[in-house]
Structure 1
Amino acid sequence: MANTGIGVSFDPNDMTSWYFRDLSRAEATRLLLNETESGVFLVRDSKTITGDYVLCVREDDRVSHYIINRVVSADGTIRFRIGDQLFADMPALLAFYRLHYLDTTPLVRPLPQALAKVAAPPPQQPHQVLELVIAKFDFSGNDADDLPFRRGERLMVINRDEEQWWTARNSLGRTGSIPVPYVQRILDPSGVPYPPAEALNHLADPPSPPSIKHPQQRTNMQRTLPALARVKQPRVPNAYDKTALKLEEGDIIKVTKININGQWEGELHGKIGHFPFTCVEFLDENQAS
């Protein structure tokens, strides 16, 4: 997906152009997915922590949501943090990422405000079930639009919004966004997903953990850190992201922090940085010793 490149002009000081206040995650995703150009963005309020923000960016075939923390120092100075970068104010943050890549793109232009005022979601059958999934890990949610769940809980997928985030409904009828890497599909005995009508019958089944090779092994979210993990999928990070780790299959990485957004932190070859948790698997205690 093409964009017009680094250094494209927009005014980061014009807050009315990029600040979308209390726009929901789902609506931000829908609006940005309608854009054909990478680098289109908006800033919305965090629904989880008052005073924090979320930078939503169209990147390739997905929409990324970056948490921006409002940091108040002991002397009362306010700064804004995204990843490990600190900025004096929001315009400075946006100006920086106008010239630097986030993951796959710099910021190119804000989403037109008018789109949020007049656009309406396409008509959709209520609670149309696509398939049934079961949770591999607990998920407490980090946004008001998220759907919290517990390991072993069954959920109905009703929309595949993004590659890494889907919309699902639980047995109580609550809907919200779920992280795809935290769930796995429930298949019938022949190895195919249950038909939607039959999936409804299985939703209320007693929760049970997904099948794993070592039932007594702790879940990732319960892991005592730091802990060693093996790289199972290589990854070459964007050259502009100096905090991302380059991963080679078979590398042993020391995981130091597990973030709910799926970007974990660790140390590899003396370098500290972040990486997608889907690229690694923890070593069991015997392997690590």
Structure 2
Amino acid sequence: MANNFDHEDKSSWYFGSLSREQATDLLMSEKEGGVFLVRNSNSSAGDYVLCVREDGKVSHYIINKLQKNDHVSYKIGDRSFSDLPSLLAFYKLHYLDTTPLIRPASKKVEKVVAKYDFDSVDTDDLPFKKGEILTIISKDEEQWWTAKNSSGHSGLIPVPYVQKIEEGQTPEFPRPGSGGSAPAPIHHVDAAVKRNQMQRKLPARARVKQVRVPNAYDKTALKLEIGDIITVTKMNINGQWEGELNGKTGHFPFTHVELIDNDNES
């Protein structure tokens, strides 16, 4: 087969937060060598992995995202590229190990139905109404996926606001536009978290406003008591922040704390 895929079409080859095992299973179900996909690296945040079916097996090539000042590059082996499409275009014409890239792996069309209205407060988001059917493009984060609506517009959607539609299933939700409010303002809080990640300098201090006793088997979760002061060291978009409390480092839900302004700690 001719390798004439569109390397600029990220939606065709980017599979988001796919595990190594899922990528391997997906590519082994393909019949030809040179079929590939790009996924997030599970072991190195910010990096990617180019997964390719070649020679009866699946190879996983790490792509390191490097940033120096304002310059970003993507390195695979000893070669560097300005972006991922340029990297894929190069390997259309050059062999990786035993094959060049022929085409992206086939994507299973996955649809979801909206359980609640979602009004976007971020330009990257995709607003929708309760009952609306959306097509998933990629699963970027645990709580945020990229989806497309019937008009062809795409953007990020909050996963708790939608429900997967299984094959042959008829969603039992009211028609689009009939309203319906989410039980908690998940999006608006998470949108603020996304902005905070850009604006808040870490480490930052936070005061516990809700008690939390973690599962006894979860050794990485922090036990929280109202009034405790946590040093926040990392803010994750999925809502699990990381920090230090009483000499212990671990994670905790951001909903249980409030950040303390340095100039107003009373």
TM-score between both structures, scaled by the size of structure 1: 0.37
The structure with the larger Rg is: 2
TM-score between both structures, scaled by the size of structure 2: 0.39
